[in-house]
Amino acid sequence: MAAPAASAPVYDVVGLGFGPANVAIAGAIVDKWASTRSGDATSHVPLQQVLFIEKQPEFRWHPGMLLPNSRMQISFLKDLATLRSPQSFITFLAYLHSQDRLITFINRGSFTPTRREYADYLSWAAEAVQKRGIQVRYGEEVVGVTRLEDGTIEVCSRDTATGEESRRVTKNLIISPGGSPKLPPALSVHWPHPRIFHSSSYISSADAFFASISQTSEPLRIAVVGAGQSATEVLLDLQSRLNALPLPSGKKHVLDMIFRKGSLKPSDDSPFSNEIFDPATTDFMFRLPTQRDRQHVLREYNPTNYSVVNINTIENLYEVMYHQKLLDGIKARTGREDESNRTRITLLPNTSIYAADIVSPSSEASSTSESVRLTLHNVLTRAVSLKTYDAVFCGTGYDRDSWTRLLASSNLAEHFGIKSSSIELVAESEGPTTTHLFADLDDIESRISSSSTDGFSTPPTPDTPHSHHSPLSRGSHPSKVRISRTYRLLSERESKGEAAGPHEARVYLQGCTQSTHGLSESLLSILGVRAGLVVDELCNTSGAGNQSTL
């Protein structure tokens, strides 16, 4: 085990990543500072030296999907702080007031801001916490963490511009890794590629792609993969872009949407279903007897968030496709072509991508760029077809397991009892064996889902056929690591019922504990409440061991 550097300053908290989750943490810490300065004698705040390390050069929140007029799917009241403390300085209402837009926002008569406005709110909040003493280092990528002899943790980061490495020591570590783009396995082996894109960088990717083909007058063939909100929004935006391109009379661009379900499904945002995102539901989920019970609940409520589309977006797409049929009918009857009808949208449901190949341009082809050839498989009829596209855009979700690789590759692995390259989180409250309430139902569902022998049955993960980061696919059983209700990883000693050392650094996870804490874990809904739980525990247990607040 490494020894601490004699001259290295020791931070009270170092956060990895500075997205919305850790901005909410920073806001909760600043609110603690403010309560102390206001004379609250009960509010001793041991967290004074706080640093967040972010790979991006500045604060960014889904810049690739800030499409015109796209709206949030949650109320503005589920912001970074309101549910924790309505008086906080980083509420959405405080943002509106600071920007002199509070009255006009009220006059809109809507609880849902545009995605562009919410991104600006988050950026404003990131600046606000820095002005109040939170330190942030942008443009640094965390490359390793090491547990030191005195129980603290050393964080090694690399400047993305210069390559220079920095080492910082902390008493507590908060890991908020965000998500990394997830593509279907057949496409992921070729990615990154100039003709294969993910929705996380859609705007910049689409701009670059259309700039690269600006001189062509031939119709384009583009595929969109996925059946969720992002994929549908990308499809509609691509249709608008393609319709703006000039084409010879009688020719049309091809825009296919490829997805495994039988149809696009509307998201369930009804009031009772939305209670799955309530903080109280997180308590309920965490205290369920077994992981199988939690998986049962997660499956039931998947339609609230995964591989589903807002009903307004679905209706918009249906109207676009109906208009397409209308223009086809007019042409068939009158022979007149509507010049605005330049793009043919086709939905390809019940379809998975079996293989993908990069095709070099032939000497006879008009295009000088590579294309992507997909081998498509209909999961119902078993029919196989080949389609070639000039570009493929994937709205297929995110992986959130980078934290597992970070810990598994460090000496913290031994501390947490990690013995393989994959990690399975287990709720602290879960016992070794418990009678499973839904055993019979789960067995039935398991048999149904595994009845297809060709590997093309509907997957449990959103949007993509199979998650190629599945622990079992790595050839080893996952290491089980216990986690507390307050999102703190428990050491192997604690998991055995032993007390942690009084000065042992604590490691918290943010945004990647859905299996133990529920569907809201990777969403914005509970950021404020979750941040409050973590900061309260950090303040209450600093220097006094690792107590649980369950």
The residue among 363, 394, 425 that closes a domain is 394
Residue 299 in domain? no
In this structure, the strands spanning 423-427 and 221-225 are unpaired
| 22, 110: one domain | yes
Structure tokens at 464: 């993509």
Residue 14 in domain? yes
Instruction: Pick the closest to residue 144 from 395, 392, 407, 430 (CA basis).
Output: 407
What does the alpha-carbon distance between residue 12 and residue 173 come to, in Å, rounded to a whole number?
9
How crowded is residue 454: how many other Cβ atoms within 10 Å of its Cβ? 10
| 489, 525: one domain | yes
Chain mean pLDDT for the chain: 87
| 390, 411: one domain | no
**Residue pLDDT, tens place only, 197-251:** 999 999 999 999 999 987 778 899 999 999 999 999 999 999 999 999 988 888 8
What is the mean pLDDT of the segment spanning 46-59? 95
| 218, 318: one domain | yes
DSSP state of 508: E
What is the mean pLDDT of the segment spanning 293-310? 92
The residue among 394, 425, 452 that closes a domain is 394
How crowded is residue 251: how many other Cβ atoms within 10 Å of its Cβ? 10
For the chain, the domain total comes to 2
Domain holding 214: CATH number? Answer: 3.50.50.60
- Confidence at 531, pLDDT banded by 50, 70, 90: very high
| 384, 465: one domain | no
| 360, 417: one domain | no
Residue 166 in domain? yes
Residue 524 in domain? yes
- Which region among 267-276, 412-421, 446-455, 522-531 has the lowest average model confidence (pLDDT)? 446-455
Stated pTM of the model: 0.87
477 neighbors 417 (Cβ within 8 angstroms): no
| 133, 89: one domain | yes
**Residue pLDDT, tens place only, 337-347:** 887 788 999 99
Q: Which pLDDT score, from 0 to 100, does residue 36 have?
A: 77
| 438, 524: one domain | yes
Q: Which residues contact residue 363 at a Cβ distance below 8 angstroms, ignoring those fewer than 6 apart?
A: none
| 120, 238: one domain | no
| 82, 145: one domain | yes
Tally the residues of the chain. Answer: 550
What is the mean pLDDT of the segment spanning 174-195? 94
What does the alpha-carbon distance between residue 53 and residue 337 come to, in Å, rounded to a whole number?
56
Surface-to-core class of residue 271, CB atoms within 10 Å of its CB (0-12 exposed, 13-18 middle, 19+ buried): exposed
Q: Which pLDDT score, from 0 to 100, does residue 396 have?
A: 96
| 447, 382: one domain | no
Residue 290 in domain? no
Residue 270 in domain? no
What does the alpha-carbon distance between residue 333 and residue 327 come to, in Å, rounded to a whole number?
10
Whether pLDDT at 526 is above 60: yes
- Confidence at 362, pLDDT banded by 50, 70, 90: low
309 neighbors 263 (Cβ within 8 angstroms): no
Structure tokens at 527: 């950021």
Q: Whole domain around residue 125: which residue ranges?
A: 10-176+401-541
Question: What is the SS3 assignment for 8?
Answer: coil
The residue among 364, 394, 424 that closes a domain is 394
| 200, 53: one domain | no
Residue 3 in domain? no
Residue 322 in domain? yes
**Residue pLDDT, tens place only, 470-519:** 333 344 688 999 999 999 999 998 988 887 777 789 999 999 999 999 99
